[in-house]
Structure 1
């Protein structure tokens, strides 16, 4: 299984995916076509055009997954799922049969890329998304490409902030009160590269935070290999 899981697609002061451009080009070396999954936003054609402009710059053509059959999608050499609302994305994938098509493609060797919502769905469920449930998917189950949950856009508490709502850490702890699956909080500007059963944290040094039920969060700076901690039973 090969996956490139970005916390976010756009960093402050940068253009779409540009903060990871060189790494994406290396990851996709030898691939000249990918299918883009745009269902997390309402304007699927406009969203596909945004992705197509970026990938054209590294020599890769893009076809919108909404424009092809599930059979063709399941044979894709590479698939990129963009960010937006995770509930809307998961609802569309389940209702169109594309969740299974993506799983089949990856099982057959396709490279999977995700950003934000597209990264969240690489986990077993959408339960650690940050999004509002603007629609109701038939299931919270997602791709299950990795055996842990992911929280993209992970935010640390701001010292002195008077906001009284729950912090991201508190929400993840609440998830772990009801579930045992660990959660990797990916800070913006970071990504997880998954290849041959190994997991590499890359991107900005501030890295990620790993939450386990009944344990203190573990802090990791990029670059780092996280295989042993993410595959521990």
Structure 2
């Protein structure tokens, strides 16, 4: 059985709450009693990012800095749990591929996975529903496929009063569906997806579900989305 997966839209909840505050108890339960290797490569300053997340999560989680390991790929090959932080998804995929971490995680499906923002994108089949600017060429867009569908973290609803003339998030997801039929879960700020075994649940906040040639569905917190685990590309 693959390891459980927790995918957060973001680390900063809406309303100015402390980082990870709504999900802190779930994170402690999800990651308890095991060393958790933190993957900081979505940002440039790895030490600063690790320290910030370590302090934000608190003492209940044994968070460890993967970037300080002499052989990080070998560490992940045997890891019981991993937390992949947010930042730029292209930078993240570039570095985890360059360091052999993508292959190590592919070879260790039992590793319990937590992602936030860019880390959530990395858990999808590809990173093609990220919001980020491609500041680096990651050498391909395929990712981990810890879930068989796509996620759009930080999902923003169209603002009818906006004078912005660029595409809305909904329009960009529609463009994705012109070339790929995989469902996309638009996770609003503060929302997360938690997979335990064959069960997948949305919580923390609402979300929208996008499917090709269908109107988007509004999803309430607490919605059972286990059927999404059975889809194939």
Of 2, 5, 10, the residue aligned with 1:3 is 5
Structure 2 counterparts to residues 10-159 of structure 1, below 5 A: 10-12=12-14, 13-31=16-34, 33-55=35-57, 57-68=58-69, 69=71, 70-105=73-108, 107=109, 109-159=110-160
Structure 1: unaligned runs, 5 residues or longer: none
> Shift of residue 28 of structure 1?
2.1
Question: Within 2, Cα distance between the matches of 1:149 and 1:94?
Answer: 20
Describe the SS at the equivalent of 2:213: coil
> Shift of residue 230 of structure 1?
5.1
Question: Within 2, Cα distance between the matches of 1:15 and 1:196?
Answer: 29
Count of residues in Structure 1 that have an aligned counterpart in Structure 2: 227
Question: Within 2, Cα distance between the matches of 1:209 and 1:40?
Answer: 25
Backbone CA RMSD of aligned residues: 1.4
Which residue of structure 1 aligns with residue 222 of structure 2?
A: 223
Greater share of residues in strand:
1
Normalised to the residue count of structure 2, the TM-score between the two structures is 0.93
Question: Within 2, Cα distance between the matches of 1:211 and 1:230?
Answer: 15
Normalised to the residue count of structure 1, the TM-score between the two structures is 0.93
